[in-house]
């Protein structure tokens, strides 16, 4: 179950998320998503849970200017970061709740959600909203992380912080980003949301390179809500947590350039 702090992408998190975490784990899947979406030549795209805009930028690069893109997120700080970076051509940025989309029925022929579904308090409701705004025959793409054990840096960071806080280990990464990976549950949630077609679920493995173990540790410890859990347990202890995570990653992958496995499910379903 997610907690309130799991969804708090505020303060320094959006900037570090974009500078460290996006190139580390999100960029490969953004490119993959844009290629998949472009293959069906949509005329209107809605992106939900856009974060700092990595998928938005990839979509803007891959699709013609005649394809409209509306990028949304609940978190204003993340969306502000995305808008500040911008895209190669105009898109519409909107702050809104994925469970109550402010768009008319049948408004889009593609809806995209990369690594956002894990944070939704009610996924069936969010998926039903995606289904509602899709035109008949439109496509919904979503991606979610696979088990934490199949995502090596995240697993090592979680282990490092468990050793640092043995009485109350921070479990954000396992609980939320890597807590929604069961294929049967995803299928069931989509069916309950009104998608009659069987989804296609592709498990996609990629690599997660970083110039140092420290960069990978900063990405997870300081650029995600894991930071909130650390600071709640040890005010002023963020540097020590990042140091512990750096040492753990370096022990496994080396202290210089590091490269870990990442793995996610990419789900495609038609309305």
Contact 173, 144 (CB under 8 A): no
Rounded average pLDDT over 107-136? 97
For residues 80 and 94, give the distance between their C-alpha atoms in angstroms, rounded to a whole number.
Answer: 10
How does pLDDT run across 92-112, given as a tens digit for each residue? 999 999 999 999 999 999 999
Confidence at 10, pLDDT banded by 50, 70, 90: confident
pLDDT of residue 101: 98
For residues 252 and 256, give the distance between their C-alpha atoms in angstroms, rounded to a whole number.
Answer: 11
Whether pLDDT at 5 is above 80: no
Whether pLDDT at 195 is above 70: yes
Share the mean pLDDT of the chain: 95
How does pLDDT run across 11-53, given as a tens digit for each residue? 888 999 999 999 999 999 999 999 999 999 999 999 999 999 9
pLDDT of residue 2: 65
CA 208 to centroid of chain Cα atoms: 15
Contact 270, 197 (CB under 8 A): yes
Whether pLDDT at 256 is above 90: no
pLDDT of residue 130: 98
How does pLDDT run across 140-163, given as a tens digit for each residue? 999 999 999 999 999 999 999 999
Tell me which CATH homologous superfamily contains domain 4-270: Vaccinia Virus protein VP39 (3.40.50.150)
Confidence at 194, pLDDT banded by 50, 70, 90: very high
pLDDT of residue 45: 98
For residues 91 and 43, give the distance between their C-alpha atoms in angstroms, rounded to a whole number.
Answer: 13
Rounded average pLDDT over 136-143? 97
């Amino acid at each position: 179950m997610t907690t309130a702090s799991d969804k708090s992408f505020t303060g320094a998190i959006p900037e570090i998320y974009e500078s460290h975490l996006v190139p580390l784990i999100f960029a490969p899947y953004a490119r993959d998503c844009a290629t998949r979406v472009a293959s069906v030549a949509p005329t209107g795209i809605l992106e939900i849970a856009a974060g700092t805009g990595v998928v938005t930028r990839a979509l803007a690069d891959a699709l013609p200017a005649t394809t409209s893109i509306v990028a949304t997120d609940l978190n204003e700080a993340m969306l502000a970061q995305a808008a500040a970076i911008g895209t190669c051509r105009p898109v519409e940025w909107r702050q809104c709740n994925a469970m109550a989309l402010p768009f008319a029925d049948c408004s889009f022929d593609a809806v995209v959600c990369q690594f956002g579904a894990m944070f939704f308090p009610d996924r069936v409701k969010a998926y039903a909203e995606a289904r509602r705004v899709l035109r008949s025959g439109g496509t919904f793409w979503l991606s979610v992380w696979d088990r934490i054990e199949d995502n090596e840096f995240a697993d090592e960071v979680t282990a490092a912080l468990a050793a640092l806080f043995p009485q109350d280990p921070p479990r954000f990464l396992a609980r939320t980003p890597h807590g929604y990976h069961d294929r049967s549950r995803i299928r069931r949630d989509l069916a309950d949301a009104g998608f009659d077609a069987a989804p296609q679920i592709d498990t996609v493995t990629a690599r997660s390179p970083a110039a140092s173990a420290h960069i990978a540790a900063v990405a997870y410890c300081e650029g995600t809500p894991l930071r909130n859990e650390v600071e709640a347990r040890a005010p002023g202890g963020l540097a020590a947590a990042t140091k512990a995570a750096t040492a753990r990653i370096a022990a496994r992958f080396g202290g210089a350039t590091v490269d870990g496995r990442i793995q996610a499910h990419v789900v495609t379903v038609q309305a």
